[in-house]
């Protein structure tokens, strides 16, 4: 397979080279992949992560790391000391099911923690913030598939509602304090370094269990669909957002639906294993269909996903094999 380094040409990005960049959640799955790419772009990278779901071993040692929660006032000192030019805000409570069980906890982290980050961006004059929102949970059961950004938002979970709330706060900080932003509404991201236990992405769970010879559980009938986008493509979208002078909301996905039964069968085939799933009742707050229209980010940033589902699954399985 050809080199698809974050879906872009193998070059140093002069727009980002030398910039001081802060990544919240930089020890997490997407964050750690993003940090490594930023360092390869000759950026100076600072990470804030409380390691609740992130892992310190994921972190590139060239990044400056602070083990601090985004809800903690201590991040004031980090912003004052490091004075980042750009902030990527990925730190969050990311589990939809957990948000349904404890919506207050979800709001404290995803809304109040984000406000703590935004207040510090305002205080030190951060030039731009890129926010990891959700496309999978923000539109609800959409009648238009793939779903565009102008479709009415109707979250079915506290997680989706919290992400939408932060989007509205970003608009407030932009209009009143000139904080530029890009919101990336992510589809279902998968790939190397995804935690098969904490973040509970279905592909990471399936890969982990397949290689351990364990049978996975599929909630519902397995016919629910998702738009699975490979993490390197997502990192490419984050980099494109940081390069751009534009402000706005952009979907990041593949525009293709895959049901859970198909994903399971594909992993089973690629792993060369014989195992079967068991089925359990569908979980509250989960959608039946989710798929994103990425034509806007393609037009504005010339971004397009480079990895097919099969290519991404192969790379993900390889990573789990080496663990």
Which CATH class, in words, describes the domain spanning 13-321?
Answer: alpha beta
What's the chain's Rg over C-alpha atoms?
A: 19
Question: What pLDDT does residue 212 have?
Answer: 86
Marked catalytic residue, from 139, 151, 159, 190? 159
Would you give the DSSP letter of residue 143? Answer: S
Mean pLDDT for 292-321 is: 96
Tell me the residue length of the chain: 323
Alpha carbon separation from 92 to 75, 85, 106, 145 (Å, rounded): 15, 21, 8, 27
Q: Does the bond joining 146 to the residue before it have cis omega, within 30 degrees of 0?
A: yes
Q: State pLDDT tens for residues 135-168.
A: 989 998 999 999 999 999 999 899 999 999 999 9
Enter the pTM of the model.
0.93
Helix (H, G, I), strand (E, B) or coil at 166: helix
CA–CA gap between residue 248 and residue 115 (Å, rounded): 18
Q: What are the residue ranges spanned by the domains of the chain?
A: 13-321
Tokens of 322: 């080496």
Instruction: Specify the residue for token string 């989710």.
Output: 290
- The helix (H) or strand (E) run that includes residue 134 is strand 128-134
Cβ count within 10 A of residue 283: 12
Q: State pLDDT tens for residues 86-125.
A: 999 999 998 888 999 999 999 999 999 999 999 999 999 9
CA–CA gap between residue 158 and residue 172 (Å, rounded): 21
Q: H helices within 199-259, ranges in order?
A: 202-212, 231-243
Q: State pLDDT tens for residues 298-312.
A: 999 999 999 999 999
159 in active site:
yes
Closest alpha carbon to 271 in 322, 216, 314, 323: 314
CA–CA gap between residue 79 and residue 71 (Å, rounded): 14
Residue 66 CB contacts under 8 Å (≥ 6 apart), including other chains: 46, 47, 48, 49, 75, 78
Average pLDDT, the chain: 92
Question: What pLDDT does residue 211 have?
Answer: 86
């Amino acid at each position: 397979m050809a080199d698809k380094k974050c879906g872009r040409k193998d070059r140093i990005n002069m727009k980002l080279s030398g910039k001081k960049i802060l990544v919240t959640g930089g020890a997490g799955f997407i964050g750690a992949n993003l940090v490594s790419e930023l360092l390869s772009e000759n950026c100076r990278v600072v990470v804030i992560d409380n390691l609740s779901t992130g892992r310190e071993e994921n972190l590139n040692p060239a990044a400056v790391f602070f083990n601090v929660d985004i809800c903690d006032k201590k991040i004031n000192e980090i912003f004052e000391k490091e004075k980042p030019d750009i902030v990527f805000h990925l730190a969050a409570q990311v589990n939809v099911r957990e948000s349904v069980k404890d919506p207050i906890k979800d709001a404290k982290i995803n809304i109040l923690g984000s406000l703590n980050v935004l207040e510090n961006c305002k205080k030190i004059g951060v030039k731009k913030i890129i926010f990891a929102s959700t496309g999978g949970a923000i539109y609800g059961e959409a009648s238009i598939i793939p779903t565009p950004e102008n479709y009415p938002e109707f979250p079915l979970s506290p997680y989706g509602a919290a992400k939408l709330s932060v989007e509205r706060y970003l608009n407030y900080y932009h209009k009143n304090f000139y904080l530029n932003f890009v919101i990336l509404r992510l589809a279902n991201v998968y790939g190397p370094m995804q935690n098969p236990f904490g973040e509970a992405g279905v592909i990471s769970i399936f890969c982990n269990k397949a290689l351990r010879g364990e049978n996975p559980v599929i909630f519902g009938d397995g016919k629910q669909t998702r738009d699975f986008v490979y993490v390197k493509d997502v990192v490419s979208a984050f980099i494109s957002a940081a390069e751009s002078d534009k402000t706005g909301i952009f979907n990041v996905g593949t525009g293709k639906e895959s049901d859970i039964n198909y994903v399971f069968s594909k992993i089973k085939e690629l792993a060369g294993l014989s195992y079967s799933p068991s089925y359990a009742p569908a979980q509250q707050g989960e959608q039946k269909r989710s798929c994103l229209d990425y034509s806007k980010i393609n037009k504005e940033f010339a971004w397009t996903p480079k990895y097919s589902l099969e290519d991404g699954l192969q790379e993900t399985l390889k990573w789990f094999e080496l663990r």
